[in-house]
Amino acid sequence: MDLLTGAETPIRTYNLSLLGFGNVNRALIRLLRAKHRELADSGIAWRITGVASRSLGWLANPDGIPAEALTPGTDTAALAAGATPSPNMQSWLKAARADILFEATSLNPHTGQPAIQHVRAGLEAGAHVITANKGPIVHAYEELADLARRQGKRFLFEATVMDGVPIFSLFREELRAVRLHGFHGVLNSTTNVILSGMEEGMSFEQSLLKAKHIGVAETDPTNDIEGWDATVKVAALIRVLMGAPIRLEEIERQGIGHLNLDAVRSARKQGKPYKLVCRARRVDSGIVASVRPEQVPLSDPLAWVNGTSSIVCFETDVFPGLAITENHPGLDATAYGMFSDFLTVAGRA
């Protein structure tokens, strides 16, 4: 209801299709349910009309997949019973009558596929696309952003760097015309958990198991340990915020696999702990960027970012130093990035 006029707020219902039915999209469903009243007050309603994954196939129901089938712990048979299978993604999007596609498939840092194809197909089908996958930004941002403009749709990706912290939207909406000279930060949770654990005396392997146990490390943590995940995040920030289509091979990359327990503990005792530091800055020839372990003095805010926490510090023409810190986020933080993009779409549709 409009508090000034007393008029009822008109409600628009959005058909949401979920590509990838793992932790992120399941957390998104929980968040959508938890924020039901806030959405209704803004004139927004939703229903899940499509769910797809490698194990499920392409399932759609334009009237909405029954809520009980989407409850955590429900087996795939119950989910499939509430929907009709489609042969491919294009047919699935059409059958689901998708207004918004939430793309949350696994990252391929080297090609960005098949997520690029997913985003392209969603936009071509007339849906807004919201992704938690960094690959499409790093490998096809300009193409996909242009396609979205031509289709009159939104291509949004707030969940790709620092979970749901408003980084891309901050520069897009609040810091318009601000020129970004560079940034540095700690952007990979898995390596940060490992280094924090090693400082406490745990072995590399024990610290990695801890990262897996709390859900920040993948089953195969190679992309994190070798610095690929952080490198992809750096490339995404450079391409979107600095307007430079940098290639991954142009970013100096070194992971943490060579660091042993003695070196990590000694660095902390010396007051210069190791962090996997991400850096980028403008130079006359373009952009210079790196991802590598560095010893950071305790006078630097990066030194105090432990565990799953992260930080990014921006240097701009207006603000010489602008830092954003995220302390110990959970899975809901990533889902919130997608949720906030949904609000952006709904607010401007």
DSSP 3-state assignment of 341? helix
- Contact partners, residue 139, CB within 8 Å, separation at least 6: 111, 112, 113, 116
Residue 123 phi, psi (nearest 5): -65, -40
pLDDT confidence band for 6 (50 / 70 / 90): low
The answer to whether residue 4 scores a pLDDT higher than 70 is no
pLDDT digits (tens, 9 = 90+) for 274-284: 999 999 999 99
* pLDDT at res. 8: 66
* pLDDT at res. 330: 80
Indicate the fold that domain 12-164+332-348 takes in CATH. Rossmann fold (3.40.50)
Q: Which residue has the higher pLDDT, 91 or 330?
A: 91
Residue pair 105/21 in contact by the 8 Å Cβ criterion: no
Percent share of the chain, pLDDT over 90: 85
Q: Report domain extents, the chain.
A: 12-164+332-348, 177-328
Instruction: Concatenate the DSSP letters of all residues of 223-265 into one string.
Output: HHHTTHHHHHHHHHHHHHHS-----GGGSEE--STT--HHHHH
The answer to whether residue 116 scores a pLDDT higher than 90 is yes
* pLDDT at res. 344: 96
Residue pair 233/187 in contact by the 8 Å Cβ criterion: yes
The answer to whether residue 3 scores a pLDDT higher than 70 is no
Task: Give CA separation, 234 vs 160, 180, 249, in Å.
Answer: 11, 13, 12
pLDDT confidence band for 229 (50 / 70 / 90): very high
Residue 312 phi, psi (nearest 5): -140, 135
- As a whole number of Å, the end-to-end CA separation of the chain is 20
Note the pTM of the prediction, 2 decimals. Answer: 0.93
Residue with tokens 């749901």: 164
DSSP 3-state assignment of 208? helix
Q: What's the whole-number mean pLDDT along residues 108-115?
A: 96
pLDDT digits (tens, 9 = 90+) for 133-150: 999 999 999 999 999 999
A 10 A CB-CB count for 346 gives: 19
pLDDT digits (tens, 9 = 90+) for 36-68: 999 999 999 999 999 999 988 999 999 999 877
**Which two structure tokens, joined as six digits, stand for 119?**
């985003």
pLDDT digits (tens, 9 = 90+) for 168-213: 999 999 999 999 999 999 999 999 999 999 999 999 999 999 999 9
Residue pair 135/232 in contact by the 8 Å Cβ criterion: yes
pLDDT digits (tens, 9 = 90+) for 236-292: 999 999 999 999 999 999 999 999 999 999 999 999 999 999 999 999 999 999 999
Tell me whether domains 12-164+332-348 and 177-328 share a fold: no
Q: Which CATH number fits domain 177-328: 3.30.360.10, 3.30.30.10, 3.30.70.1290, 1.10.10.10?
A: 3.30.360.10
